[in-house]
Amino acid sequence: METQRPRIHEQLNSVKHFQQHSRLHFIGQWKTKAHDLFKEWFTENPSWNHGVLSRQTIFAHLDMDAFFCSVALAKEANTHLRDKPVCVAAGMGNSDISSCNYVARSYGVRAGMYVNAARTICPNLHVLGYDLPRCAEVAKCLYRIIFELCPARLDMSVEVYSIDEVMIAFDSDDYDAVGRYCSDVRHELEVATKCTISCGIGPNVMLARIATQSAKPNGIFAIQPNDVKDVMLRLPFSKIHGAGASTIAKLLPLLKPYLRVTDCEDESDILCYHVQKLTKTQLQQALGHKSGENFYNLCRGNDVRVVRRTGDEENQRLTGKRAPTSIGCSMNYAVRPSSVEDVWSIVRELLEVVCGKMKRGSYCCSGLRVTLLERHPLHPKTTQKYMGRGKCVEFNMPISFESPMRCNDFESMFSHIKGVLSKLLIPERTASDEERARELGLDKNTDSGVIWTVSISTVSDIVIEDVRGMTIQATGVRLEHRISDGKKHSSGVQMSLADAFSKVSAKHQQVSCEKENSKMEDEELKRLSPSSPGCVMGLQALEELMNHEVDEIFVSRWKNLAGEVGRQTDYTAMKSLIRVAALRCASAVGPVGKMREVFTELVSFAQGLMPYPVAFT
């Protein structure tokens, strides 16, 4: 490992080098790469895109087994290691283990351990390096096999969760056909790559993922609708995604009447059966309104999440995916600036990445958020992990623009950042580290955390050589076509609802708004035809609402339709109803304040009918 250090020193403060060699960056950017790849494939092979499914009834979760390790062991040079304990890490000593084979796991080795800690329990552990290009090749091979082997009678939607994980939704009720298809995919992938994959099949996203746990390693397992009740009764509550130690700790006082003393020895002793004893109100009081309702449904095996097809923006929009509100880029490894020029170099590279992301999505932003990590004054300058961040103090600096900026406003954004940071950056500080800690009100116990966030208003300087990381984030992100004349607008659907409610007092504005609304109403009705996926109301009902004044009758009819949609948990139709309400309230002749109240009431009514919040912006 020592032989690599001079090379790392040569690449200090380089965002490009950091991203090229960072496993976490590679994983984090993979969904974007997969989106672009699928989009290209759908253009070349239109038959691979099956359009919006009329329903999603069977879900298959495909998860590679010990992915990074399997890719490394698939090489001919490593054949002799396949029956030995093996892990993958960037180096020795304090490097994190990202993946280990099942032989190593039998010794207690786990992902996230330091290599030296793992070797205390498994002295003969073999450490292999990453081969990220080959990992990308294996993932692409899996995707191609998924599309090429899909039977003509099955329509599917594929969503890439991560580089080694895919969720597929089918519109079929034939579990046998889906099972045969998944078996074919698993076999073909192993032949092509010498890597194995496990598959879980179920009636919803959660149950498919739970089935995968039973399928690992290198197997296939299905949970059919008739099995759901029995499976959930004996399933440990901690197996549900998001049900961690803190969640269980909050529920334990409520669960004690239903538990024997011996049932509380371990988290896995708390079953979904026990949590089902609690009412929705009890769960909401303990966990919050949204989380409580979420776990109330999940512990009963109910999950309304759908697969949003990777590479298909229209499908993602129809299935409720929201546009990002912020876009950022971070660097927190090998950050060791020795001069202010080094800081500006890091800023420029990070901002270039952010602007590149904005350009890709045709976004603009209303501001920036700059985050600096400074070495904790009571923490040594030499970090435990070579060139790592160590324990830091975090400073967040918001920057607002007078008007939205696009990616081609790079130099202006760069100047804004320099204007803020140049006032804080200093070459050295006369105060001691102990005095600095007291100034920031930091705990003397540096073992109590990793990042301490301190208000920037309490800081007058930051030593350049103590900077250990930086993040630049574009905030208030929206599509470029939603701004005009360089003026700020509120985000909304098709038009700014805030503008519609607050700027219709003048007559010429009313006329303009009515013309725009009329045009949008026509477009909206075309888009909301009965053939649209998920719509449970007819076009005639929508037309009646669009042509009706906003009064008690309108509200009553709207709520009746919303109730019908809510019973079928149809998010697409509910969003359509909310858009109708927005358009009618925005163009109504009545007082602006009254229309705002009506619209707010209808949205609240709709949100209360659905298991999860309706994303309609």
- The confidence score (pLDDT) of residue 339 equals 93
Q: Which long-range contacts (CB under 8 A, 24 or more apart) does 150-158 make?
A: 150/181, 151/177, 151/181, 153/177, 154/178, 154/181, 155/50, 155/51, 155/53, 156/50, 156/53, 157/50, 157/53, 157/56, 157/307, 157/308, 157/309, 157/315, 158/38, 158/307, 158/309, 158/310
Question: Residue 509: which H helix or E strand, with range?
Answer: helix 507-527
Three-state DSSP class for 243? coil
Q: Of 205, 213, 224, which is closest to residue 166 (Cα–Cα)?
A: 205
- Tell me the C-alpha distance between 587 and 574, whole Å: 20
Q: Is the per-residue pLDDT at 557 higher than 70?
A: yes
What pairing do the DSSP bridges indicate for beta strands 392-405 and 451-453? parallel
**Most confident listed range (370-379, 510-519, 557-566, 584-593):** 370-379
Average pLDDT of the residues of the chain:
84
- Tell me the C-alpha distance between 115 and 128, whole Å: 11
Structure tokens at 471: 């993040």
Average pLDDT over residues 536-542: 64
- The confidence score (pLDDT) of residue 497 equals 42
| Beta carbons of 212 and 61 less than 8 angstroms apart | yes
| Beta carbons of 185 and 62 less than 8 angstroms apart | yes
Q: Is 254 left (phi over 0), alpha (psi -120 to 50) or beta?
A: alpha
Average pLDDT over residues 1-22: 57
Average pLDDT over residues 531-543: 56
Its pTM surpasses 0.85: no
- Intra-chain end-to-end CA distance of the chain, in Å: 50
Residue-wise pLDDT tens digits, 386-408:
778 888 999 999 999 999 999 99
Contact residues for 585 (Cβ-Cβ < 8 A; gap 6+):
500, 501, 550, 595, 596, 598, 599
Q: Is the per-residue pLDDT at 536 higher than 60?
A: no
Residue-wise pLDDT tens digits, 92-128:
888 889 999 999 999 999 999 999 999 999 999 999 9
Three-state DSSP class for 488? coil
- Tell me the C-alpha distance between 569 and 534, whole Å: 9
Residue carrying structure tokens 């002793």: 269
Q: Is the per-residue pLDDT at 30 higher than 50?
A: yes
Residue-wise pLDDT tens digits, 452-476:
777 776 678 999 999 999 999 999 9
Three-state DSSP class for 206? helix
Instruction: Kindly report the backbone phi and psi dihedral angles of residue 222, in degrees, each rounded to the nearest multiple of 5, phi listed first.
Output: -125, 140
Three-state DSSP class for 150? coil
Residue carrying structure tokens 């594929």: 158
Band of pLDDT at residue 446, cut at 50, 70 and 90 = low
Q: Is the per-residue pLDDT at 381 higher than 90?
A: no
Say what the alpha-carbon torsion angle 139, 141, 144, 145 is, to the nearest 10 degrees: -110
- The confidence score (pLDDT) of residue 545 equals 82
Class of domain 326-482: alpha beta
Q: Is the per-residue pLDDT at 493 higher than 60?
A: no
Domain over 2-70+133-223 is classified CATH 1.10.10.10: no
- Tell me the C-alpha distance between 38 and 214, whole Å: 29
Average pLDDT over residues 61-90: 96
Structure tokens at 609: 């009918």
| Beta carbons of 223 and 207 less than 8 angstroms apart | yes
Q: Of 191, 197, 184, 162, which is closest to residue 64 (Cα–Cα)?
A: 197
- Tell me the C-alpha distance between 532 and 54, whole Å: 9
- The confidence score (pLDDT) of residue 251 equals 94
Point out the least confidently predicted range of 209-213, 235-239, 300-304, 511-515. Answer: 511-515
- Tell me the C-alpha distance between 288 and 258, whole Å: 22
- The confidence score (pLDDT) of residue 612 equals 61
Structure tokens at 103: 């032989």
Give the Å distances, CA to CA, from 358 to 393, 475, 479: 29, 11, 9
Average pLDDT over residues 272-277: 96
Q: Of 596, 379, 551, which is closest to residue 466 (Cα–Cα)?
A: 379
CA 482 to chain centre: 24
Q: Percent of the chain having pLDDT more than 90?
A: 56
- Tell me the C-alpha distance between 134 and 595, whole Å: 58
Band of pLDDT at residue 517, cut at 50, 70 and 90 = very low
- Tell me the C-alpha distance between 129 and 115, whole Å: 12
- The confidence score (pLDDT) of residue 7 equals 55
- The confidence score (pLDDT) of residue 542 equals 75
Average pLDDT over residues 136-162: 96
| Beta carbons of 252 and 266 less than 8 angstroms apart | no
Three-state DSSP class for 479? strand
Q: Percent of the chain having pLDDT more than 70?
A: 83
Point out the least confidently predicted range of 53-62, 80-89, 154-163, 498-507. Answer: 498-507
Point out the least confidently predicted range of 34-38, 269-273, 301-305, 385-389. Answer: 385-389
Q: Is the per-residue pLDDT at 617 higher than 80?
A: no
Q: Residue ranges of the domains in the chain?
A: 2-70+133-223, 76-130, 326-482, 497-609
- The confidence score (pLDDT) of residue 264 equals 60
Q: Is the per-residue pLDDT at 266 higher than 60?
A: yes
- The confidence score (pLDDT) of residue 21 equals 65
- Residue that wins the pLDDT comparison between 274 and 603: 274
- The confidence score (pLDDT) of residue 506 equals 39
- The confidence score (pLDDT) of residue 8 equals 53
What pairing do the DSSP bridges indicate for beta strands 86-89 and 126-128? parallel
Band of pLDDT at residue 236, cut at 50, 70 and 90 = very high
Structure tokens at 353: 């990445």
Instruction: Kindly report the backbone phi and psi dihedral angles of residue 446, in degrees, each rounded to the nearest multiple of 5, phi listed first.
Output: -75, -5
DSSP result, 400-438? EEEEEE-GGGHHHHHHHHHHHHTTTEES--SS-HHHHHH
For 76-130, CATH number? 3.40.1170.60
Peptide bond into 337 cis (omega under 30): no
Residue carrying structure tokens 């380089």: 14
